[in-house]
Structure 1
C-alpha cells in the first residue's frame, strides 16, 4: 500500500521575508525568542556597531585634494578645487574683527555641493534635478564646515608686502595686504548609497581636505595679478583644526497607536543602513570632538532621553578615534 507524503511547509528565504515583512524581519533579529541570543541586526552587526570606514586619498589627479570614502555599501567621492578670488572682486570686503569663521562665512570661501542623482540607489536616478535630500545635505555640510572652524582663513589668503616709502616710519612693522583668497569648491559625488549619507559625506570632506595642497601663490605688483608656482614641492597643505566626528543613530520601536507607550520596545541603531532607515521614524546625528559637542540634530520621535543621549555622545567620541586612525594611515 502506497504511503502518502505530507506537503512541505511553505517557507521563504531571508531576503524574501525582508521584502514582504520588513518590520517583523528586523524585529526578529533585534528581539530573538531565545534568551541566550543577543540582539543582532540583519547585517550581522550589533545595535551599537558601526561600519568600518575605508578611505583612499589622491584619487582625482585634476583636483587639489580628493578622497573616496566607503561605509559598508555607501561610497562617496570628494574633490576639492581651489580657485583664486581677488580682493578687489569682493563686493563687500570683510572689515570685521579677526575671526576666521566669520571671515570665511561672509566671503563664501568654502563651497560644498553634493550630487545624488547618479544612480547610487533606485530612488536617485541619473539626470534628475537635485532633490530636497541633496540640498539639505549640502546646507548641513556648509554649516558644519563653518561651525567646526576646520579651515583657517590664513591658509586661504594671498598676502603682499608693499615696498617701503619715505613716509614709512623706520621702526614700524611691515604692513601686509591681503590681495586675494583661495576659494575651495568641495564637490561630492555619491556613487553608492546604502543609508547614512551624511556621515559618509562628512568623512569624505575630512579626507579630501586632509589631502588638499594649495600651490604657492604671490601677488605680482607689476602685472597686478596673482601668480602661482607649478612646483609640487612648494605646495602647502591646509593646517586643519580639531577634527570632529559625525555619527548618526536611528531608533527602531514597536510602538503603535493601539499599544501603550510603556509597553513598546526600542533599539538605538548606530550607523543605520538603508533598510533600517526606512523602518525608523526617529534619528539623531551627533557631531563632536574629543572635548566638546558641536551639534546634535534630532528628527522625529521622542524615545531617546537625556541619559541615553549621553551614551550616544560618548559613542560618537569613541568613533572619532577610528576616523583619526584611518585618516592618519592615509598620510603616512
Structure 2
C-alpha cells in the first residue's frame, strides 16, 4: 500500500485580509505601513500617501442658486458644501446697539460678536459618516465644529463689519440734511450653513475652506432705508451688488501623530513617531496627539501664524512644531492657487 503524503494535507499559512487586520489590530496595522521591514522601503500610510502628504483639494464656487455665496470643497473622501445667506437685522431691534462712527473700520470684532452677525451652522447629512444615524439630534461633533469655526472667524478677523453695515443719511430736496450725521440703520447677518456630504477626517479644515471659498464669492445687494415705506429696500441689479473685503487668507492644516507607545502607557521617551498630515478618519481615531495650525501668508510671512491648537500626546516638541508650521505654509500656497483659480 502506497504511503500517504502529508504535504498535501498540511494547513496553509494563516493570513488575514487587510480589512480584518485593520479592524482587529488597528495600531499594528498602521505601524506595519509606517515602519516597513526593509530599510529600502519608505513609510507609506494605509491610504497610499506619504506621512507629510496632503490630499488633493478641489473647490467649486457659486454652486447653489439661492444663496449670496456658496462653495463645494472636496479633500479625498471628505466633501463639504457651504452656502451663505444674508438677512437684514434692523438696528432698532438690537438692545443697546454699539455706537460706531463712519471712520471706525478696524476695531469691529466686538461689534460682530455682540450682534451675532456671523452664524455658522454645521450639519452631517445621512450617509456622510457611519456614526451618523438618521433622525438623531445634532451631534456633538457638529456643535463643536460650529463653535470652533465661529472662534476662528473671530481670531482671524476675516470678515469686516463695515461690509455688513447699512447706513442712512437723512435727505431734504436731494441734499443731506444740515447738521445730520449718517447712522447705521441696519446690518447684514450672514448665516453660514455647512453640510458634510461625506466625512473622512479633516473635518475642520474642509469646513473652513468651504466657508472661506463661499465668503470670497459672496455678493450682497445694495440696500438702503426708504423713509416713506419705513423699510430696507434692496436693489435687484447684480451690477449694484458688492463683494466682501475679506482680511487676508487664513488657511488651516490638521496633523495627527502616531507613535509606537502601547495603549495605556504614557510616552516619555519620544523615540519614534510619525507626523501624519491631513489625517483621514481611521488615522484620527488611532492617533493620540492632534495639532491644527492656521497660517496666513498673504501679509508678513514671518508673522503668518494665526492660531495653533494642540491636543493630547507628548511627541511634538518645538523642533517638530517648526516642521509642522513649514508644512502648513506649503499647504497654504497650494490652497491659495486652487482658491484663486475659482476667483478668476
TM-score, normalised by the number of residues in structure 1: 0.93
The one of 275, 285, 297 equivalent to 1:278 is: 285
Change (3 A) 1:251 1:263: closer
- Alignment RMSD (CA, Å): 2.0
Q: Which moved more, 1:254-263 or 1:80-89?
A: 254-263
For residues 34 and 177 of structure 2, what CA distance do their matches in structure 1 show?
78
Q: Partner of 2:253 in structure 1?
A: 247
Equivalent pair of 1:117/1:129 in contact (CA under 8 Å):
no
Q: Please, which runs of 5 or more residues in structure 2 have no aligned partner?
A: none
For residues 167 and 29 of structure 1, what CA distance do their matches in structure 2 show?
74
The one of 192, 196, 206 equivalent to 1:190 is: 196
Listed one character per residue, the Cα deviations across residues 241-274 of structure 1 (whole Å, up to 9, x for unaligned) are 1011101111111113569742742111111001
Equivalent pair of 1:117/1:125 in contact (CA under 8 Å):
no
Q: Partner of 1:33 in structure 2?
A: 37
* CA shift for structure 1 position 15: 2.3
* CA shift for structure 1 position 238: 1.0
For residues 215 and 204 of structure 1, what CA distance do their matches in structure 2 show?
22
Instruction: Within 5 Å, give how 1:228-267 maps onto structure 2.
Output: 228-256=234-262, 261-262=268-269, 264-267=271-274
The one of 313, 335, 340 equivalent to 1:323 is: 335
Instruction: Within 5 Å, give how 1:89-168 maps onto structure 2.
Output: 89-95=93-99, 98=104, 99-116=107-124, 118-163=126-171, 168=178
Q: Partner of 1:312 in structure 2?
A: 324
Q: Which moved more, 1:77-86 or 1:144-153?
A: 144-153
Listed one character per residue, the Cα deviations across residues 127-184 of structure 1 (whole Å, up to 9, x for unaligned) are 2111221111111100111111111111111112212699836xxxx73221111000
For residues 301 and 25 of structure 1, what CA distance do their matches in structure 2 show?
20
Change (3 A) 1:142 1:166: closer
* CA shift for structure 1 position 24: 0.7
Equivalent pair of 2:171/2:177 in contact (CA under 8 Å):
no
Q: Secondary structure at the match of 1:262?
A: coil
For residues 181 and 259 of structure 1, what CA distance do their matches in structure 2 show?
52
Q: Secondary structure at the match of 2:269?
A: helix
Please say if 1:70 is aligned against 2:74. Answer: yes
For residues 31 and 221 of structure 1, what CA distance do their matches in structure 2 show?
72
Q: Which moved more, 1:217-226 or 1:117-126?
A: 117-126
Equivalent pair of 2:61/2:72 in contact (CA under 8 Å):
yes
Q: Secondary structure at the match of 2:192?
A: strand
For residues 194 and 44 of structure 1, what CA distance do their matches in structure 2 show?
15
Please say if 1:204 is aligned against 2:210. Answer: yes
TM-score, normalised by the number of residues in structure 2: 0.90
For residues 115 and 263 of structure 1, what CA distance do their matches in structure 2 show?
38
Q: Secondary structure at the match of 1:59?
A: coil
* CA shift for structure 1 position 232: 1.8
For residues 190 and 20 of structure 1, what CA distance do their matches in structure 2 show?
29
Q: Which moved more, 1:287-296 or 1:68-77?
A: 287-296
The one of 8, 11, 16 equivalent to 2:12 is: 8
Please say if 1:299 is aligned against 2:290. Answer: no
